Amino acid sequence: MANETDADRIQHEKDRRRAEERLRIEREHHRRLHDVELLRRGGTHSGSDSLDRAPAEARVKTESEPVRDQEPPARAFAPPVTPAPAPAPPEPKPRAAPSTRPIGRPVQSETVRSFLALDPAEQFDIQALNQLPFAPLLHEGAKNPELLEQLATRSEALMERVKREVDDPLSAGALLREFALLWYRRSPEDPGWAEAAQDRWGGIFAESKVSGGKLHPWLNMRLWAVHQQSIREGTVRQRVRRGLSRSHLAESSVSRTAAQQIQAEVAQAFADDLAARPRPADASFPLVRLSELAVRRQVATVNEALAVLFNSSETGPFVVLHPNRYPDCEELQIRPPSGGTSGAALAFTLVTPKALRRSGSRPSASGSSEGGDTPSSSSAGSEEEDGPVDFSTIWDAKAVSAATWRSVLEESRREKRRLEAPPKDYRTRLPYSTLRELLLRDGELRKVFLGAKWRGRPAGLPLLVALLQKGAIAPEVATDHEYLEAELGELSQGDPQFVPEGGTWKFPGWTVVREGTHREGFRYRATPDPTGAT
């Protein structure tokens, strides 16, 4: 129509579509009714287009007369047909495990999965972390901004844990003991020890390198590079968030004081020496990297760091492993070089005292005695000894002759090194009694002993020798008079707790008198007394 408006055309279109939809619904309804009727008669479905081919008159009749009002047509009687049981459905096949990678996510390499699996608490393994190559992390992160954010967060957390492990003296010392235990137990039977151990331990405490060869940067510096690169190549939001954050955790994890740096270098040098070669059988093990570090840093500085790491005296030896804690291991000690060595002759050595005793590397019992008061060879040989004895094993011997003590003290004086302090049960050991009796009667040997005496406790015997040699002393430390009087009481009455009322001790060859008071400090005078008695 010429005057038909847009509203009329829209309304006609709606009516036409509504009629088509009604016709489609009617067709679907009649098809279902037809299928129900066929099933009642035992037939099959007619299909979706059966009603489309039916005449229009049948459709109109069916619409006007519902199915429920129709009477079923008459048919001959037939027994009901029992349908055959349907076959059992086949067992469903197990589906393959879905891939761990969500759809649309990039495939991650084994290196990335291993790095993200580590955490600062339960899944932390510093040796496994040290062996991971960090270059593939950044290569994959450049293709995935979400991965870059994960790398930045995880590397920052791992740096904090590494810092605590390697810069705390107790944790670093415990870690070095674990390395030494692995070296002691596994290296003799592992033909590829050197190559594998250098990758596991190189760069854990500090930068480690071979002269003219491979270099391992410090582990935290490698993590720092991953952290910084992940932030620079990440999203703008990540860079802004990191810039506004006031947390300086990452920066503090790569900064060190001078003492921490020296301690880390000493620990890394010792670990590199253990990784360089397997343990030899019954022989000393030279620590080459540690010795080279001592040439650059000075022996005293290295000794101070070792004393802190292994909780020992700065004069050494530094006990790394002890049978009390590891029954299947011999005692391992780091022996510092003697005071007179320098340059290429300067050497730290990892030794076992039992191996030294078996090998007899320092002949001392065979040394000839000198001086007028020296016992004869027959009297020296009459005292039984427990094999070759040197300055490192002399306190463990069953008995030590006077000639042996002379040789050990003379050797200590020549090498300008201190005698090792006796153990806590020194009063029950025969070597201690032999040395004390020898020092009571030999003035020349007392001079040698004062130059090689041990430092620290027990201080009784060094104080006694100084008193006999000088004639009078005034102990500087308040408790030193107790150690001295214990020696005097044992010599005079056989009881370290004995203190005479008058403050006068008499023992063979000497008389010692105490002067002064406890408040102002005690002074002691010693005079020779050939008639002195116990």
**One-letter-per-residue 3-state SS of 451-513:** HHCCCCCCCHHHHHHHHHHHCEECCCCCCHHHHHHHHHHHHHHCCCCCCCCCCEEEECEEEEE
SS3 state at 517: strand
Please determine, for residue 324, whether its predicted confidence score (pLDDT) is greater than 60: yes
In a 10 Å sphere around its CB, with 0-12 CB exposed, 13-18 middle and 19+ buried, how is residue 513 labelled?
middle
pLDDT-derived band at 59, boundaries 50, 70, 90: very low
pLDDT score of 239: 52
Select the more confidently predicted residue: 396 or 475. 475
pLDDT range class, residue 58, cuts 50, 70, 90: very low
Is 502:514 a contact under the CB 8 Å cutoff?
Answer: no
What's the rounded Cα separation, in Å, for the pair 493 and 513?
15
Four-CA torsion 379, 381, 387, 390, nearest 10 degrees: 50
Q: Which amino acid is at 12?
A: H
> Which residues have C-beta within 8 Å of that of residue 187, sequence separation ≥ 6?
193, 197, 274, 277, 278, 279
**Averaged pLDDT, 441-467:** 86
Q: 221-226: long-range contacts at Cβ-Cβ below 8 A with a sequence spacing of 24 or more?
A: 221/254, 222/134, 223/134, 223/155, 223/158, 223/159, 223/162, 223/253, 224/155, 224/159, 224/250, 224/253, 224/254, 225/134, 226/134, 226/137, 226/138, 226/151, 226/152, 226/155
Instruction: Indicate the average pLDDT of the chain.
Output: 77
In this predicted structure, the answer to whether residue 174 has a pLDDT above a threshold of 90 is yes
DSSP states of 90-142 as a string?
PPPPPPPPPPSSPTTPPPPPHHHHHHHH--SSTT--HHHHHHS-SHHHHHHHT
Is pLDDT above 70 for 4? yes
Alpha helix ranges (H) inside 245-387: 249-252, 258-276, 288-297, 299-310, 353-359, 377-381
**Per-residue confidence (pLDDT) for residue 88, from 0 to 100:** 58
Over range 238-257, report the average pLDDT: 66
pLDDT tens figures, 358-377: 444 443 333 333 333 433 33
pLDDT band, very low/low/confident/very high, at 164 (cuts 50, 70, 90): very high
- pLDDT surpassing 80 at residue 69: no
Give dist(CA 36, CA 40) in Å, integer.
6
pLDDT value at residue 241: 55
Query: 317-331 burial, b if ≥16 CB within 10 A, otherwise e?
Result: bbebbeeeebeebbb
Nearest one of 360, 361, 431 to 402, comparing CA atoms? 431
Pairwise CA distance, residues 298 & 111, whole Å = 41
Residue 389 has a pLDDT of 54
Q: How confident is the model at residue 144 (pLDDT cuts 50, 70, 90)?
A: confident
* Residues 473/463, Cβ–Cβ less than 8 Å: yes
What DSSP line would sit under 191-240, residue for residue? Answer: TTHHHHHHHHHTTSSS-EE-TTS-EE--HHHHHHHHHHHHHHTS-HHHHH
Local structure of residue 332 (DSSP, 8 states): E
CA separation, residue 248 to residues 153, 243, 255 (Å): 13, 11, 11
Q: At which residue do the structure tokens 């302090």 appear? A: 421
Q: What's residue 261's pLDDT?
A: 93
Taking the C-alpha atoms of residue 164 and residue 187, their distance in angstroms, rounded to an integer, is: 28
Count, in order, helices (H) and strands (E) of the chain: 22, 10
pLDDT of residue 143: 66
Q: Are 231 and 152 in contact (CB under 8 A)?
A: yes
CA–CA dist 202, 56 (Å, integer): 92
More confident residue, 32 or 391: 32
Q: Is the Cα torsion angle 365, 367, 371, 372 positive or negative in sign?
A: positive
Distance CA(326)–CA(323), nearest Å, equals 5
Helix 430-441 to helix 443-452 angle (10° resolution) is 120
In terms of Cα–Cα distance, which of 474, 463, 469, 466 is closest to 516?
474
Q: How many CA atoms lie within 13 A of 292 on its CB side?
A: 12
The mean pLDDT value for 475-498 works out to: 86
Strand partners, 285: 350
pLDDT interval class at 414 (50, 70, 90): confident
The more confidently predicted of residues 48 and 233 is 233
Categorize the per-residue pLDDT at 315 as very low, low, confident or very high, splitting at 50, 70 and 90.
confident
Q: pLDDT > 70: what percent of the chain?
A: 74
State the pLDDT at residue 83. 54
Express as a percent the part of the chain with pLDDT over 90.
20
**Tens of pLDDT, residues 209-230:** 877 777 889 998 999 888 888 8
Question: Is pLDDT larger for residue 422 or for residue 287?
Answer: 287
Nearest-angstrom CA–CA distance, 453 and 203 = 39
Q: Which of 180-184, 294-298, 478-482 has the lowest mean pLDDT?
A: 478-482
